[in-house]
A and B are shown apart, each in its own frame.
Chain A
Amino acid sequence: QKEVEQNSGPLSVPEGAIASLNCTYSDRGSQSFFWYRQYSGKSPELIMFIYSNGDKEDGRFTAQLNKASQYVSLLIRDSQPSDSATYLCAVNRDGQNFVFGPGTRLSVLP
């Protein structure tokens, strides 16, 4: 079992819809969880992070964390074509280095 798993996609949603991206992790000791967006040929950029169970909202983005289920998700409301990218889930186990999932490709169709 890989440490951080994501569906590779592509996930296709129509413009204006909600995109739901999921991530599971294997280490119950994981402390914090990050979502990065990566456009093709570019480096990852941080979207948001979450430490506590529940929801955290930032603009059109909502991160959801369920530590008991070892599950973290990212919702993107009112999806735009400019949101089309690969979304990487990263898990920080010990306050030091991060483990990344393989990423989910999102395609928002105009």
Chain B
Amino acid sequence: DTGVSQNPRHKITKRGQNVTFRCDPISEHNRLYWYRQTLGQGPEFLTYFQNEAQLEKSRLLSDRFSAERPKGSFSTLEIQRTEQGDSAMYLCASTKQGNYGYTFGSGTRLTVV
């Protein structure tokens, strides 16, 4: 297993379009997280899953955002009706249950034009 994989690496979309990102975590990690990072800021928590259950969503996550992890393996993050303010790096991370540090994927850079 080579780590956390995210696809696509880059996405440019027009305002109002829907986009979907995928994250494949490290196989033995049962926790999966989505974060968003803008230039000059630290990652902001969006949501996380333990196995297939979505246990927490940030108040930052508007109704246009939805995430799934249907079989407790890979996860998708969908943004509907994208806005320019959604432009950011979307980071996925995974970890084992417990107090361990994350392993991050390479991220998906979204640009909304």
The residues of A with any CB-CB pair to B shorter than 8 Å are 4, 8, 31-32, 34, 36, 42-46, 49, 51, 88, 90, 92, 95-103
Contact = CB atoms under 8 A, between A and B. Distances in A.
7 closest A-B pairs (Cβ-Cβ)? A100-B42, A46-B101, A43-B104, A100-B43, A102-B42, A97-B45, A34-B101
Interface residues of B, number: 22
A95 B89 CA distance: 24
A98 B40 contact: no
Given A42-B106, A45-B104, A95 B99 contact: yes
Interface of B: 33, 35, 40-45, 48, 55-56, 89, 91, 98-99, 101-107
A72 to B, nearest CB: 14
B99 A88 contact: no
Pick the most buried of A43, A90, A98, A101: most chain B CB atoms within 10 A of its CB.
A43
Contacts of B56: 96-97
B62 to A, nearest CB: 18
B41 A98 contact: no
Contacts, number: 52
12 contacts: A46-B101, A51-B99, A88-B43, A90-B42, A92-B99, A96-B56, A97-B45, A97-B48, A98-B33, A98-B102, A102-B42, A103-B42
Given A42-B106, A43-B104, A97-B33, A32 B99 contact: yes
A103 B37 CA distance: 11
Given A44-B43, A98-B102, 10 more contacts: A8-B40, A43-B107, A44-B102, A88-B42, A97-B33, A97-B48, A98-B33, A98-B45, A100-B43, A103-B41
